[in-house]
Structure 1
Amino acid sequence: MAALLARAAATAAAFRAGLPDRPVPAADPQRSAAAFDRPLPQAPTPPAQVLDELVAAAEDGLMATPGPRYFGFVVGGALASATAAEMLAAGWDQCAFNTALSPAASAAERAAGRWLLELLGLPATASVGFVTGGQAANTVGLAAARHHVLAEAGWDVERDGLAGAPRVRVVAGVERHATIDRSLRLLGLGSAALQPVAADGNGAIDVRDLQRVLAAAAPGPTVVCLQAGNVNTGACDDLRTAIGLAHDHGAWVHVDGAFGLWAAADPARAHLVAGVELADSWACDGHKWLNLPYDSGFAICSRPGVHVAALSYTASYLTGSGSADPAPADLTPESSRRARGFAAWAGLRELGAGGVAALVARCCALAVRFAGGLAAGGARIANDVVLNQVLVRFGDDGEAGDARTDRVLEAVQRDGTCWMGGTTWRGRRYMRIAVSNATTTEADVDRSVAAVLRAARAC
Structure 2
Amino acid sequence: MSGNATDPDPTDDELVLLADADRRARTWTAGIGSSARRVFPSAESLAGLSRLDEPLTTAGRPAGETIAMLDEVAGDCVVASNDPRYFGFVVGSTLPVAAAAERIALAWDQCASSFDNSPAAHVLEKQAGRWVLDALDLPRASAVGFTTSATAGAVTALTAARRALLLRHGWDVDQRGLHGAPTVRVVIGELAHITVVRALRILGFGLENIERAPVDEHARVTAAAMPDLDDLTLVILQAGEVNTGEFDPFADIIPAARRAGAWVHVDGAFGLWARASQTHRVLTTGIDAADSWTTDGHKWLNTPYDSAMVIVRDADALSSAMNSDAVYLAGSADAQKNLTLEFSRRARGIPIWAVLRTLGADGVEELVDRCVDLARHAAEGLRANGFTVLNRCVLNQVLVRGETPEQTETVRDRLQQSGRVWFGPTVWQGEPAFRVSVSSWRTRREHIDELVELLTAELARSR
Q: Which runs of 5+ in 2 are unaligned?
A: 1-13
- Give the C-alpha shift of residue 72 in structure 1: 0.9
* Alpha carbons 1:35, 1:57 under 8 Å: kept: yes
- Give the C-alpha shift of residue 158 in structure 1: 1.9
- Give the C-alpha shift of residue 243 in structure 1: 0.6
Q: Which runs of 5+ in 1 are unaligned?
A: 396-400
* Alpha carbons 1:168, 1:193 under 8 Å: kept: no
* Aligned match for 1:137, one of 145, 153, 165: 153
Corresponding residue of 1:398: none
Corresponding residue of 2:445: 442
1:17 matches 2:30: yes
- Give the C-alpha shift of residue 388 in structure 1: 0.2
Task: Give, in whole Å, the separation in 2 of the partners of 1:30 and 1:18.
Answer: 20
* Alpha carbons 1:24, 1:69 under 8 Å: kept: yes
Alignment of 1:332-371 (within 5 A): 332-371=340-379
- Give the C-alpha shift of residue 282 in structure 1: 0.2
Per-residue CA deviations over 1:260-307 (Å, capped at 9, x if unaligned) read 000000111111101111110000000000000011000000001100
1:256 matches 2:267: yes
- Give the C-alpha shift of residue 44 in structure 1: 3.2
Q: Is the partner of 2:220 in helix, strand or coil?
A: coil
Corresponding residue of 2:3: none
Q: TM-score, normalised by structure 2?
A: 0.94
1:433 matches 2:436: yes
Which amino acid is 1:18 matched to? G
* Aligned match for 2:95, one of 73, 79, 90: 79
- Give the C-alpha shift of residue 143 in structure 1: 1.0
* Aligned match for 1:385, one of 393, 400, 412: 393
- Give the C-alpha shift of residue 322 in structure 1: 4.4
Q: Is the partner of 2:420 in helix, strand or coil?
A: coil
- Give the C-alpha shift of residue 414 in structure 1: 1.1
Q: Is the partner of 1:407 in helix, strand or coil?
A: helix
Corresponding residue of 1:7: 20
* Alpha carbons 2:164, 2:317 under 8 Å: kept: yes
Task: Give, in whole Å, the separation in 2 of the partners of 1:33 and 1:144.
Answer: 43
1:34 matches 2:37: no
* Alpha carbons 1:132, 1:296 under 8 Å: kept: yes
Task: Give, in whole Å, the separation in 1 of the partners of 2:189 and 2:393.
Answer: 20
* Alpha carbons 1:129, 1:299 under 8 Å: kept: yes
- Give the C-alpha shift of residue 204 in structure 1: 1.2
Which amino acid is 1:259 matched to? F
- Give the C-alpha shift of residue 428 in structure 1: 1.7
Task: Give, in whole Å, the separation in 1 of the partners of 2:396 and 2:23.
Answer: 32
* Alpha carbons 1:27, 1:62 under 8 Å: kept: no
Corresponding residue of 1:284: 295
Moved over 4 A (4+): 26-30
- Give the C-alpha shift of residue 150 in structure 1: 1.0
RMSD (Å), alpha carbons? 1.4
* Alpha carbons 2:231, 2:260 under 8 Å: kept: no
Per-residue CA deviations over 1:145-189 (Å, capped at 9, x if unaligned) read 111111112211122221111111111111111111111111122
- Give the C-alpha shift of residue 190 in structure 1: 2.0
Alignment of 1:270-309 (within 5 A): 270-309=281-320
* Aligned match for 1:316, one of 321, 327, 333: 327
Which amino acid is 1:50 matched to? T
Change in Cα spacing, 1:351 to 1:138, as seen in structure 2 (3 Å) is same
Percent identity over the alignment is 43
* Alpha carbons 1:26, 1:413 under 8 Å: kept: no
Which amino acid is 2:348 matched to? R
Task: Give, in whole Å, the separation in 1 of the partners of 2:363 and 2:439.
Answer: 14
Alignment of 1:237-256 (within 5 A): 237-256=248-267
Alignment of 1:74-113 (within 5 A): 74-113=90-129
How many residue pairs match? The answer is: 446
